[in-house]
Amino acid sequence: MTDTGRREYAGIDYFRLISAFLVVAIHTSPLTSFSLTADFILTRVVARVAVPFFFMVSSFFLFSKKEEVCEQSGRLMAFVKKTAELYGITILLYLPLNIYTGTIKEWRHLPNLLKDIVFDGTFYHLWYLPAAILGACITWLLIKRRTAGQAFGISMVLYLIGLFGDSYYGISEKIPFLKAFYQGLFRISDYTRNGLFFAPIFFLLGTFLARKRKRLPLRTCLSGLAVSFGLLLIEALLLYKLHVQRHDSMYFMLLPCIFFLFQSLLLWEGKSHSYLRNLSMFIYLIHPAIIVAVRGLAKAAGMQKLLIDNSILHYIAVAIGSLAAAAVLSLFVRRKPGRTAGADHTASIGSRDRAWAEINRTNLNHNVKAFQKVLPAGCEIMAVVKANAYGHGVVPVAAYLSRIGIHAFAVATIDEGIQLRKEGIKGEILILGYTPAVRAAALFHYRLSQTVVNLEHAKELNRYGRPIQVHIKVNTGMNRLGESYRHASEVESIFACKNLKVLGIFTHLSASDSQEESDVAFTKQQFQNFYGLIGRLKAKHIPIPPTHIQSSYGVLNYPELKCSYARIGIALYGVLSTTEKNTKCSLDLRPVLELKSRVVLVRTIAAGESVSYSRSFIAQREMKIAVISIGYADGFPRSLSEGKSHVLIRGHRVPVLGRICMDQLVADVTGIPDIMRGDIATLIGKDGSEEITAEQVACSAGTITNELLSRLSDSRLKRVFYDL
């Protein structure tokens, strides 16, 4: 399983620091006293990998494969907020220099101020911060709404536009319409080196490498880096000699060069160093102020020739001063509780130090295909993602399903539907439960489809006065929600409501999971009740909207029904409600979720000692026990106490002892050699040749998997998404 959060990349951290000093070199030109060409190679070729590297680091962790992009919208917003706050602080920091240089006078014209804040940066190096924000947001949208190829193509087009306004501008200005285009563009941004044209391609490259399972061999990476850098050098020098560069940040060969460089650094694994991240960030931000300070002190001390005119010594002085200032700031940040810093400004990926659920997207995809094979032609899956997608994580699950072709979803409440819309989920979202008419505005605004539970409810929604999408629920025998199948005139009146757009009509089967003769007869009677109503509506020339009857067991036991949708819920996640598997249609369903925790303490107890609350377990012999950091507050039922459940540790099935607590449980690990703190305990899932299924756990708890999984805590259990 690919998991960037579990690996530590020492190479990335060390190169952050190198990149920061390369940026200092760009702004001090260390070799100008000796050779302009050598300085050009250092500052305009070698050092040009620094900012793209920082972009790639940000995306590598921000858009890692471990979590679905939509789930990471919160992390994206945290990234944007943190970077914006940092940008605001540095704007204030450099405001005195803006006043001194007269830049602030230009800000009296609002367009100039907006241009500097959004694109150019209020000080020459600060363009990176708004570029990182804009580049991250564009990348998030591309990944979320386009295929990988489309996203790369769009970002490449943006890069090409930037390229011909940068290093290749000499060509563009000779073509009249291109010259006019770029002249207009430069009124908005002084450079195409910004978050719109420059950043997205590097953010996408970082994302690609985060999601790539296999790494290239080191020899391939180094060979590719050597060749691409050689070509980059030729490209840059040729453009330099031809004098076509307007700026010199963007090159064709910069893309493969940074790709192979980053690949090489990923192979350098080792302990991550947060202080290097802090140092690199602060060096980048503070070095222009240090340049001013060094120049001022040199003039005051009469040392201009030594510390200013000598470009190498000037660079060394600025580099040392920046490092010292950054070290002080890093110490301050490290002492501030709850603060984190890094050149990429990304939030760290949630660790698996306590308890978590692993969500296998490959198995989810497999289950979707398994159902699609048995459904009649024209019948689509409506994925039921209520109750946090049965505990699996509603936003990332819905986003993934959308990516693989599912465009209809069902939730229980309006707030669940709003959550999906806010996270960018397209397609139809049907609310299966009741929503009062006072929230009709939200139904309209978020384009949600509401279940109409009877004629009175329809009339209430209709009074809102604006078109609301609805599905009509028909009560065919379950006697829960829905207008009775006997009330054809009432259903006809619902169709007549001018402000209701009827997108579907459906019923709910109450005994489709049973193969008992009486239950089968009752289910078939429900079919007749529903289709009888449909026939009466047709006789009155009412256009029939899409229909849906089956839920998970409806498909497994009555796959032949021809409807527009099949509402697949619990079975979509690879489990059935109970351990009973005697369904008419047997599908190869694969569990999507595994529930895991960690051993936090191992101890030996003597005969006669008790375990956990109420002393419900008394040891009859000397035993080795393990405390595991999961409990009923995480959703693991207390009813599984006192030997009614097991966990898997190192491939061994061991019983739970005593009462399950709110946050911990205790297991008998007497027979497991070398067990230690940090070992993984599997409560649902496989470990070696052993497996504990969700159905088995639910049965032992006296419930069904629907309840067991949907009660898994969303706040206490981290969801970790992966593909095989």
- Confirm whether 370-573 and 593-692 share one CATH topology: no
Query: Higher pLDDT residue, 272 or 296?
Result: 296
pLDDT in tens, 383-420: 999 999 999 999 999 999 999 999 999 999 999 999 99
Q: How confident is the model over 374-380, as a mean pLDDT?
A: 94
Task: Report the distance separating Cα 591 and Cα 595, nearest Å.
Answer: 11
pLDDT per residue over 486-526, tens digit each? 999 999 999 999 999 999 999 999 999 999 999 999 999 99
**Which of the four pLDDT bands, split at 50, 70 and 90, describes residue 145?**
confident
When the candidates are 3.40.50.360, 2.40.37.10, 3.10.20.30, 3.10.300.10, the CATH number that belongs to 593-692 is 2.40.37.10
Q: What is the average pLDDT across 217-245?
A: 94
Above 60 in pLDDT, residue 69? no
Length of the chain: 724
Whole-angstrom Cα distance, residue 535 to residue 547?
13
Q: Bridge partners of 431?
A: 411, 450
Categorise residue 555: left if φ over 0, alpha if ψ from -120 to 50, beta otherwise: alpha
Mean pLDDT of 188-192: 93
Higher-scoring residue by pLDDT: 331, 612: 612
- Taking only Cα atoms into account, the Rg of the chain, rounded to an integer number of angstroms, comes to 31
Which CATH superfamily does the domain covering 370-573 fall into?
Alanine racemase (3.20.20.10)
Q: How far apart are CA 379 and CA 565, in angstroms?
A: 5
Percent of the chain at pLDDT above 90?
A: 80
- Known catalytic residue at 613: yes
- Six token digits for residue 285: 């931000």
How confident is residue 337, by pLDDT bands cut at 50, 70 and 90? very low
Q: What distances in angstroms separate CA 625 from CA 155, 349, 639, 665, one per listed residue?
A: 55, 31, 20, 10
DSSP codes joined into one string, 48-105: GGHHHHHHHHHHHHHT-TTS-TGGGHHHHHHHHHHHHHHHHHHHHHTHHHHHHHTHHH
* Mean pLDDT score of the chain: 91
Q: How far apart, in Å, do the first and last CA atoms of the chain sit?
A: 6
Q: Note whether 537 and 556 are within 8 A (CB).
A: no
**pLDDT surpassing 70 at residue 636:** yes
Q: 65, 144, 386, 596: which one is catalytic?
A: 386
Find the mean pLDDT for residues 451-456: 97
In whole angstroms, what is the distance from residue 346 CA to residue 58 CA?
6
pLDDT tens digit string along 78-133? Answer: 889 999 999 999 999 999 988 988 888 888 888 889 999 999 999 989 999 999 99
Give the pLDDT score at 350. Answer: 41
Q: Which of 63-77, 104-118, 641-655 has the lowest mean pLDDT?
A: 63-77
Q: Is the pLDDT of residue 651 over 90?
A: yes
Distance of alpha carbon 130 from its chain centroid, rounded? 21
Query: pTM, whole model, 2 decimals?
Result: 0.57
Distance CA 348, CA 269 (A): 17
* Cross-strand bridge partners of residue 690: 687
Give the three-class secondary structure for 430. Answer: strand
Is the pLDDT score of 461 beyond 60?
A: yes
Where are the chain's structural domains?
10-17+45-270, 370-573, 593-692
- DSSP classification of residue 351: P
Output DSSP code: residue 343. T
* Res 633: pLDDT: 96
List pLDDT tens digits, range 253-266: 999 999 999 999 98
CA distance 403 to 537: 36
**pLDDT at position 73 over 80:** no
Q: What is the pLDDT of residue 465?
A: 93
